[in-house]
Structure 1
Amino acid sequence: MLAFILRSHLRTSFNIYLMNLATANFLYALIQNPPDVINHLYNGWFLGSFYCSVLIFGLYIFEAGIRNCHILISLNRIWAVFWPHSYRTYHKKRVACLLCLAGWVEVQFIILPGYILDAMYYRSTAIGASCGLNAMAQWEWSVAIQFTVYNMGLYLMWISYPIIWYKRRQRQRNQIVPSRQPAQSSQGTGARSVRSVRTNQDATDNDTVDDEEETAKTTRSGNQSGPLAKKTSSKAFTILTVLTISVTVCWTPILCYYTITLWMPVNNPILLEVGTVLFALQSVLDPVLFIIALPDLRDTFRGAFRAALRLGR
């Protein structure tokens, strides 16, 4: 987050979604993880009703918000791949910020009614009881949010990824077509051919381009070299790939556990602990994956690390 804040060139329209996800992960780790650890270490909750409400709020709101952040990244790539002209024209930083804000409003609108009812009527106040939302008292609501909010994030990523991959591959194949045309002897015809190749290449590169600033910079410089353009355009898809793999590994156990427990009791604390740890680990993995996938962010992080080492010496 400090790298995004301190380096203005990193605050691109696509990176707004990464900043949104990093912020959600940070708040989840700060607000929800510490009381959750206490709740799992001890049989009874002894930190009071207010802090129990904080734990449940973080557990339901921030987990749903993190899933929405991943969904927005997938939807952004679908927009860029299927409607590249519309994406280049309308997807600006302001649009990205509004979409991120809308995602958080949606989460609050869906989850807060059940959360408030639980705090007012259904939450257990018995001595020694653990802190948790009484899902069985609002079973229909619990089932609805489990599938429409929590599970849906993983479903949409699974569905959208192969579609995005196929569309990108199809456009990359179409990009090769102009280069197979025979060379024209006329200078004017040759110039038109070059412009045609560049136009097709622009359309393909911007299908998965990270931000409109890089697109404009490349267009102004006139440098549309194949490897550079391909490297620039593939960063967002690389991030989508690593995030899809990581969420599949980290989310599947806990989603399966909570989905099954809605219909039958599951007395398997090991499965619950493994799922909880894996989901919490996702908050640590996301920023690491960003640094690995984004060269600019990696260079900034490396420079800051070297500066800290020099300062320490």
Structure 2
Amino acid sequence: MSSNVSNTSTVELYGPVIAVGVFAVVKLALNGCLLFFFLKSRSLRTPFTVYLINLLLSNILVTLADPFFMMESWQVRWFFTSILFNMKIYFDHVGSALDLHAHLLITLNRMWALTFPLNYRNYHSTQIAVVICLTMGTYCHVLLSPLLLQDLLYYRPNMQTATECEVVSSAQPVLRRFLKIWINNVPVLIILAAYPYLLCRTMDVGKTFHCQAAIIGKSSLQRPAKENRHAFLILTATTFITLICWTPTKIIGILKVFGDTAIPDVLQIVFGDVIYSLQQVLDPILLTLSFKSLRKAFKSKVGLICRRG
């Protein structure tokens, strides 16, 4: 989430910053509620839903940067203590990377399932999914550690005079540009570029299972096709979210890092922060709409609460 807001008056920022705060509450409620259902209901916990749980956890982590962003935007100086400074930068940079790569893992999972279906069905399990998610999290931390540690040790501004809570933009230009491309933009390109291929593979695999079921006469062969269609529906939702919510902030980031372009603060907050925040709101909503068993669990829980009330 961007934070260059020192040149804009509080009045101009009031609306966008309040919007980010409202989104933060909504995001925590939606993602927390959905995470509760996944962890509470054993029937919802499958190898594939491990990636959805990972996505919800990443959404919650990156949302924790929002309160810091609001305080920073209003230039509350007492806010800038060393511990809070480090927390905000961690939630912002690492949380954002984990969130984006959680979407990438869903795409990579579908590529494995549709390109090598037999291998996927034989070797993919809940344990493997957990290891993959943990490995991706470690990968993001390792990539970002040089930038964040060097900033902490050598470039961190004085807490009493700091006007923003961010990695020093003028330091480590080569490393910052590399990370901007590799960890922020390459995953988005992979997600968007892979979707047409996965669409074709989903249709082909569905036809194959349907033909085999008709020839052999085993209805059990139709189950993998149904699972693939369901997983592809979730993939479609997450790809749509990536296109709508991630693209504006990535374009703004490229212009700032490579073009040294002066972007109006209000425009940066609206397109780089508010629309970006929509991603953590839309994720749980679209997952619920595309997950029939999750909708049933939600209705059952709401009905139980109403009966008790």
TM-score by length of 1: 0.81
The residue type equivalent to 2:261 in the other structure is: P
**Alpha-carbon distance change, 174 to 85 in structure 1, aligned in 2, over 3 angstroms:** closer
Residues 88/116 of structure 1: CA separation in 2 closer, same or farther (3 Å cut): same
CA separation in 2, counterparts of 1:10 and 1:176?
25
Match status 1:17 vs 2:51 = yes
Tell me if the contact between 2:85 and 2:165 (Cα under 8 Å) persists in the aligned partners.
Answer: yes
Instruction: Measure, in 2, the Cα distance between the counterparts of 1:245 and 1:153.
Output: 14
Of residues 265, 271, 293 in structure 1, which corresponds to 2:267?
Answer: 271
Task: Report the equivalent of 2:234.
Answer: 239
Is 1:55 the counterpart of 2:91 in the alignment? no
CA offset at residue 235 of structure 1? 1.2
What CA distance in whole angstroms lies between the structure 1 residues aligned with 2:273 and 2:70? 10
Report if aligned partners of 2:202, 2:232 keep a CA contact under 8 Å in 1: no
Verify the 8 A CA contact 1:39 1:45 in the aligned structure 2: no
Displacement of 1:175: 5.1
1:262 is paired with a residue of what secondary structure?
Answer: helix
Counting matched residue pairs gives 272
Note closer, same or farther for the CA distance 1:41–1:249 as it changes in structure 2 (3 Å cut).
farther
> Which residue of structure 2 aligns with residue 114 of structure 1?
147
CA distance in 1, matches of 2:39, 2:209: 36
C-alpha change, 1:148 and 1:205, in structure 2 (3 Å) is farther
The structure that has the greater radius of gyration is: 1
State the shift of 1:278 in Å. Answer: 1.6
Q: What residue number does 1:219 align with?
A: none
Separation (CA, whole Å) in 1 of partners of 2:103 and 2:89: 21
- Report what 1:165 is aligned to: 199
> Does structure 2 retain, via aligned residues, the 8 Å contact 1:44–1:130?
no
Q: For 1:79-158, what aligned pairs fall within 5 Å after superposition?
A: 79-125=112-158, 127-158=161-192
| Structure 1: runs of 5 or more not aligned | 180-192, 207-228
Aligned residues with identical type, % of pairs: 26
Cα distance in 2 for partners of 1:205, 1:122 equals 56
Distance 1:136 1:174, change over 3 A: same
Matches within 5 A, 1:179-190: none
**More deviation in 81-90 or 270-279?**
270-279
Deviation at 1:306, TM superposition (A): 2.1
CA distance in 1, matches of 2:115, 2:239: 19
Query: Where does residue 5 of structure 2 map in the other structure?
Result: none
1:227-250: CA deviations, max 9, x gaps?
A: xx63x4311100000111112111
Deviation at 1:277, TM superposition (A): 1.2
State the TM-score, normalized to the length of structure 2.
0.82
Partner Cα separation in structure 2 for residue 304 and residue 178 of structure 1: 39
Q: 2:104 aligns with which of 71, 75, 92?
A: 71
- Alpha-carbon distance between aligned partners in 1 of 2:72 and 2:56, rounded to the nearest angstrom: 25
Q: Secondary structure at the match of 2:173?
A: helix
- How far residue 60 of structure 1 moved from its aligned partner, in angstroms, is 0.6
Matched to 2:243, the amino acid is T
Q: Which residue of 2 aligns with 1:260?
A: 255
The CA distance in 1 between the partners of 2:240 and 2:280, in whole Å, is 14
Kindly indicate whether structure 1 or structure 2 has the higher relative contact order, using CA contacts under 8 Å at least 6 residues apart: 2
Distance in 2 (CA, whole Å) between partners of 1:205 and 1:135 is 52
Q: Deviations over 1:238-272 (max 9, x none)?
A: 00001111121111111111111012132311221
Residues 43, 128 of structure 1: 8 Å contact kept: no
